[in-house]
Chains A and B, each alone.
Chain A
Amino acid sequence: MPIDKRSVSPAEALADVADGATVFISGFGGAGFPNVLIRALRDRGPKDLTLVVNSATHRYSYTHELIEAGLVRKVICTAARGHSKEPSPFERLWMEGKIELECVPQGTFAERIRAGGAGIPAFYTPVGFGTELTRGKEVRSFDGCEYVLEQAIKGDLALVRADAADRYGNLAFRYAQINFGPVMATAARLAVAEVRAVLDEPMPHCRVQLPGVYVDCVVAVGV
Chain B
Amino acid sequence: MQPLNRLQTAWRAAQDIGDGMLVNLGLGMPVHVADYLRPDVDVFIQSENGVIGAGPLAAPDRIDTDLVDAGSRRITLRPGASIVDSSWSFAMIRGGHIDVTILGAFEVAANGDLANWDMRLPNKGPLVGGAMDLAACARAVWVIMEHVTRKGTPRLLERCTLPLTAVRCVKRVYTDLAVIDITSAGMMVREVLAGMSEADLRERTGAPLTFAPDCRPLVAPPIALPD
Q: Are A176 and B51 in contact (CB under 8 A)?
A: yes
Number of A-B contacts (CB under 8 A): 158
Name the contact of B86 in the complex, choosing from A82, A128, A180 (C-beta under 8 A).
A180
Of B125, B163, B166, which contacts A91 at CB under 8 A?
B125
Residues B67 and A176 in contact, CB atoms below 8 Å apart: yes
* Whole-angstrom distance between the Cβ of A129 and the nearest chain B Cβ: 7
Q: Complex: how many Å from CA A147 to CA B74?
A: 35
Q: Give the CA-CA distance A31 to B164 in the complex, in Å.
A: 29
Does A31 contact B137, Cβ atoms closer than 8 Å? no
Question: What's the interface size class on B, roughly?
Answer: 35 or more
Is A106 within 8 A of B133, CB to CB? yes
Which residues on A sit within 8 Å (CB–CB) of B127?
78-81
CB distance from B19 to the nearest CB of A (A): 27
Query: What is the 8 Å Cβ interface bit string for chain A, positions 69-102, against chain B (1 contact, 0 not)?
Result: 0000000001111100001101100110000010
B226 on interface, CB distance cutoff 8 Å: no
The smallest C-beta distance from A94 to any residue of chain B, in angstroms, reads 6
Q: Select A111's contact among B69, B87, B131, B167, beta carbons within 8 Å.
A: B87
Closest to A113 in B: B87
**Which residues of A, 157-173, contact B by the 8 Å Cβ criterion?**
163
- Whether the pair B51, A106 counts as a contact (CB closer than 8 A) is no
Are B85 and A178 in touch, CB under 8 angstroms? Answer: yes
The yes or no answer to B129 lying at the interface (CB within 8 A) is yes
Residue B133 contacts which of A87, A91, A107 (CB distance < 8 angstroms)?
A107
Q: Total interface residues on A, using CB and 8 Å?
A: 53
Which of these, B49, B129, B136, B166, contacts A176 with CB under 8 Å? Answer: B49
Q: Is the CB of B164 within 8 A of A29?
A: no
**Pairs across A and B, CB under 8 Å, 28 listed:** A29-B49, A29-B68, A29-B69, A31-B49, A31-B66, A31-B67, A56-B125, A79-B125, A87-B123, A88-B125, A91-B125, A95-B123, A101-B125, A103-B126, A106-B90, A107-B137, A108-B133, A110-B90, A125-B94, A126-B136, A127-B133, A130-B166, A175-B68, A176-B50, A179-B49, A179-B86, A183-B85, A183-B86
- Measured CB to CB, the residues of A under 8 A from B are 28-32, 56-60, 78-82, 87-88, 90-91, 94-95, 101, 103-108, 110-111, 113-114, 125-133, 163, 174-183, 209
